[in-house]
Structure 1
Amino acid sequence: MSYLDIKRLGEGSEHVLQQAIKDIKNIEKQMFEGRVVAVEGLRIEATGPAEALRLGAYARFGNKEGPRGELVGFEGERAVFLACDDVDGLRPGAAVCFSADDAIVRVSNSWLGRVVDAFGAPVDGGLPLAQGSISRQIKAVPPAAHSRARVSEPMSLGVRALDGFAPCAVGQRMGLFAGSGVGKSTLMSMLARNAQADVVVIGLIGERGREVREFVEDTLGIEGLARSVVVSATSDETAPRRRRAAWMTMAVAEHFRDQGYKVLCLLDSVTRFAMAQREIGLAAGEPPTTKGYTPSVFSELPKLLERAGPGKIVPAGQPQGQITGLFTVLVDGDDHNEPVADAVRGILDGHIVMDRKIAERGRYPAIDVLKSLSRLASHLYTPETAEIARQARRLMSLYSDMEELVRIGAYARGADPEVDRAVQLSPDIEKILTQHVNENSPPEETFAMLAQVLGMNAEAAPNPHIHAAEAAMAAQGGERRSENRASLARQLGGN
């Protein structure tokens, strides 16, 4: 820039200032070079200048346009990289080019409706993506706890089983725990289309390549994609790419949150992120612990999940950005207490459990409302809706306890009025929980349907006949109810 340009800049020339910013952005980053020492599979050992060697740094091998690798550890004075791309043909002595560019991302609002990879490159066959003006770290630090806004605003998800029994708040983080083949991806597509959010960011981590396009075009559809950004890393991609895709998903969500938008972040799945981190940890020399997971898996999980949630407190009158996170957990062999599921459940603000038995009997979404829980439910229910949910849950629990007896004919109608009512109403409640994939049901409609089945009006005032029946049941006392259940047990034993 010439002296005259600087002088005009000092005089407040706006166009010169903009040109200066553009020129600075276009300056090539300082490059450091090292050398490849050894190659073993995806593991690459290299040397390089001390100022470039730091955990999490990225490098390119051969030249500055070559395949990428992520620095995951050290062995003596050698840096250990894990390849992000195909490194066939790489040999000892090849150049290692270090740059800070791969550690940052410049998200733009024009990314809406697009599908990108772990490095922000388009994979949908569309035009090149515009780059935003703000650089952000791909692995950002979550906002400090004391600087975050409070979570209190209900969020309609459009799914009756969730809005009625596991309500979600704007800025809440919930886990979706499911085995394979129980309708997890279909439920995600319903949430992407129906949830009351300004922007939806979807991370597909470790999915089959065939399923990514099917999810985007068929399951998500044009309507869902229009307000969404999809980040994809298929199962055949390397562990660093799969892990980075999860970070990229959160970085994109943070971009829109910082603009004051209400963002819904759907990440499928946290389990595959953990598996990628396990693979990276083992390559870096970490010892395996429970089920082969390395210690870094359980330290990285909260760092990822805590990035969702409410944003920093903003001055009055400005929009408050929030990230509502729904993270799927693929439970191994339907074991909901395996290490990753157990760790994630302790971090999040609630859990949604999908049950294979419910899916097998044809009720979708296959959500087990008795095992699902929202930690903020008490803050989101009104007194009326809380009573409706409580009564419906109690009846379903009663029917679940007695279902086997009823099916084999061991239950005698009239033995327990509470059970009689549960047997009578449970099929109707089950119908309410059944929902077509393209159906959007607001919470008001959900509670109105439940109230009608329960014989309650919109204000949750009990029906007089039901109230009288419940009074009669209470008068029987615990002793009578115990006798009834003992009798049922004897009948079952006799059969």
Structure 2
Amino acid sequence: MDMNNEYVPKLCCENIKKLLRHDDVVISIENTATYEGKIIEIGAIFIKAYLPLAKIGSIYQIKPSDEFAEVISINEMSVTLLPFCDMSGMFLGQWLSFYQSEFFISVGYGLLGRVVNGLGHPLAAGDKLTNIPYQRSLFREPPDPLSRAIIDKPLSVGVKAIDGLLTCGVGQRIGIFAGSGVGKSTLLGMICNGAQADIIVMALIGERGREVNEFLALLPEETRLRSVFVVTTSDRPPLERMKAAFTATTIAEFFRDQGKHVLLIMDSVTRYARAARDVGLSIGEPDIRGGFPPSVFATLPRLLERAGPAAVGAITAIYSVLIENDDANDPIADEVRSILDGHIILSRKLAEENHYPAIDVGLSASRIMINVTSREQSNAAATLKSMIATYKDVELLLRIGEYKHGEDPQVDRAIHLWPQIQSFCRQPFDSVMEFNTTINELFRTVG
């Protein structure tokens, strides 16, 4: 019988189905043939392979090892993957086998008090996690804007300068912007200790290895037991450093969905962005702003918008941002500041004067403050900020003895109250101030 070429494959497939009498077996055979392939190129941080019908985000196992790689780019000829492991020992022709369609982590109350890596696995060798029965994808849509609860409750973080002058709300997203060596990690530790939250999720991304234990040692046991720590050090592959931000956010979302108020602290968004830059440049993206490719600025909103209040529960998020050369117009700092609900600026000048926390309250702002504070507190905070600005204007004249008292009553008042103002804005790193105590001290300071 004369058969055309298009009819033959269909007839063969039907005959195989009849012989095996089980469609699932045929599907399994097709998957095996379709979703496996070999490495055809190895780069500095990526591999390329021939993988027909691969999809963005799919996970492949690198045979014969137990390591995995994720699909990040596809063209007609090849697929680009980023391994979750070190590249050493990989070779051309090494086999890749389909593992799963996207990356999942296990979540549950068993994560409390534990330290996991950027992929959600225990950081300590030989450690095991229990009571984590739920599987969640790292990538979820942010809460619907119309379903978000209104932010109308203040959040006490135990730091006077923040609670009194830059009051945050439950569900707010705020950034801490600082150069290196001005007390950013210390301030984050103070917030961890003092924040009135049910659960704390702390992401340490791209940190120095020695700093991890140092930071954990600053936290009392009570704080550690209600916290989850996601840690990925600077030596880890860029894909893991990227995943760490989404892993921490996904864990925080799980607890928010249980009706909890979660404090998510990410240190730092800048190191996440640098890891994303490595990934983007490796697949040939151009750098468009300060050496960063467009994918970095596309993913930042998708990451940061996932925090905030939902119909049930809330995530209050604090993101630290490293400012290169103390330049507030750094592209990542500028982008993050435009997305968040407030910014806290740490001043190198204040740090050099041993003024800690080195918060420049004049340059900092909380966009939610007016919604969560009384009119009396808002007025007192505005008055104190005004006196700080007034004193700074005449500080040089005071130092060289050129200012004459009595010329300006507002300046005289700022000078008279300057010791009390400094006392209010300073705080030992191991102290936690109650919210009402802070507000009462603010009222006393401004009279």
Say whether residues 1:61 and 2:53 are aligned partners.
no
Alignment-derived partner of residue 208 in structure 2:
208
Q: Give runs of aligned pairs for residues 373-384 of structure 1, distance below 5 A.
A: 373-384=365-376
Alignment-derived partner of residue 39 in structure 2:
36
Letter paired with 1:436: P
Distance, in Å, in 2 between the alignment partners of 1:204 and 1:349 is 22
Q: CA deviation at 1:368?
A: 0.6
Q: Give runs of aligned pairs for residues 248-327 of structure 1, distance below 5 A.
A: 248-311=247-310, 313=311, 320-327=312-319
Cα-to-partner distance string for 1:102-134 (whole Å, 9 max, x where unaligned): 611120101111100011111145730125333
Of residues 98-107 and 436-445 in structure 1, the stretch that sits farther from structure 2 once superposed is: 98-107
Q: Please tell me whether the aligned partners of residues 271 and 330 of structure 1 are also in contact (alpha carbons under 8 angstroms).
A: yes
Cα-to-partner distance string for 1:261-298 (whole Å, 9 max, x where unaligned): 00000000000111111110001111111111000110
Distance, in Å, in 2 between the alignment partners of 1:125 and 1:414 is 68
Alignment-derived partner of residue 219 in structure 2:
220
Letter paired with 1:394: S
Letter paired with 1:340: I
Distance, in Å, in 1 between the alignment partners of 2:101 and 2:208 is 29
Letter paired with 1:424: H
Cα-to-partner distance string for 1:37-84 (whole Å, 9 max, x where unaligned): 11122220011231xx12222222123x53222212124320011222
Of residues 144-153 and 322-331 in structure 1, the stretch that sits farther from structure 2 once superposed is: 144-153
SS in 2 for 1:394: helix
Alignment-derived partner of residue 6 in structure 1:
none
Q: Which runs of 5+ in 2 are unaligned?
A: 1-30
Q: CA deviation at 1:349?
A: 0.3
Distance, in Å, in 1 between the alignment partners of 2:82 and 2:105 is 20
Cα-to-partner distance string for 1:290-338 (whole Å, 9 max, x where unaligned): 1110001101000000010011x2xxxxxx3100000000001110111
Distance, in Å, in 2 between the alignment partners of 1:102 and 1:90 is 23
Letter paired with 1:35: K
Of residues 280-289 and 94-103 in structure 1, the stretch that sits farther from structure 2 once superposed is: 94-103
Distance, in Å, in 2 between the alignment partners of 1:55 and 1:355 is 42
Distance, in Å, in 2 between the alignment partners of 1:374 and 1:195 is 16
Q: Give runs of aligned pairs for residues 343-358 of structure 1, distance below 5 A.
A: 343-358=335-350
Q: Please tell me whether the aligned partners of residues 57 and 101 of structure 2 are also in contact (alpha carbons under 8 angstroms).
A: no
Alignment-derived partner of residue 445 in structure 2:
453
Q: Please tell me whether the aligned partners of residues 172 and 341 of structure 2 are also in contact (alpha carbons under 8 angstroms).
A: yes
Say whether residues 1:183 and 2:183 are aligned partners.
yes
TM normalised by structure 1 equals 0.81
Q: Give runs of aligned pairs for residues 47-446 of structure 1, distance below 5 A.
A: 47-50=50-53, 53-63=54-64, 65-100=65-100, 103-124=103-124, 127-130=127-130, 132-216=132-216, 218-311=217-310, 313=311, 320-446=312-438
Letter paired with 2:142: P
TM normalised by structure 2 equals 0.90
Q: Please tell me whether the aligned partners of residues 388 and 447 of structure 1 are also in contact (alpha carbons under 8 angstroms).
A: no
Report % sequence identity. 42
Q: CA deviation at 1:89?
A: 1.7
Q: 1:86 to 1:303 in 2, by over 3 A?
A: same
SS in 2 for 1:193: helix
Q: 1:34 to 1:325 in 2, by over 3 A?
A: same
Distance, in Å, in 2 between the alignment partners of 1:206 and 1:422 is 42
Q: CA deviation at 1:443?
A: 2.1
SS in 1 for 2:92: coil
**Cα RMSD over matched residues?**
1.5
Q: Which runs of 5+ in 1 are unaligned?
A: 1-29, 314-319, 456-495
Q: Please tell me whether the aligned partners of residues 67 and 86 of structure 1 are also in contact (alpha carbons under 8 angstroms).
A: no
Q: Please tell me whether the aligned partners of residues 152 and 169 of structure 2 are also in contact (alpha carbons under 8 angstroms).
A: yes
Cα-to-partner distance string for 1:440-486 (whole Å, 9 max, x where unaligned): 1122111211222222xxxxxxxxxxxxxxxxxxxxxxxxxxxxxxx
Q: 1:125 to 1:193 in 2, by over 3 A?
A: farther
RCO comparison, higher one (Cα < 8 Å, 6+): 2
Alignment-derived partner of residue 23 in structure 1:
none
Letter paired with 1:338: D
SS in 2 for 1:327: strand
Q: Please tell me whether the aligned partners of residues 202 and 227 of structure 2 are also in contact (alpha carbons under 8 angstroms).
A: yes
Distance, in Å, in 2 between the alignment partners of 1:328 and 1:49 is 41
Alignment-derived partner of residue 49 in structure 2:
46
Cα-to-partner distance string for 1:324-365 (whole Å, 9 max, x where unaligned): 000000001110111000000000000000001111111111
Distance, in Å, in 2 between the alignment partners of 1:236 and 1:445 is 43
Letter paired with 1:104: F
Distance, in Å, in 2 between the alignment partners of 1:291 and 1:425 is 43
Distance, in Å, in 1 between the alignment partners of 2:235 and 2:131 is 27
Q: Size of the alignment, in residue pairs? A: 415
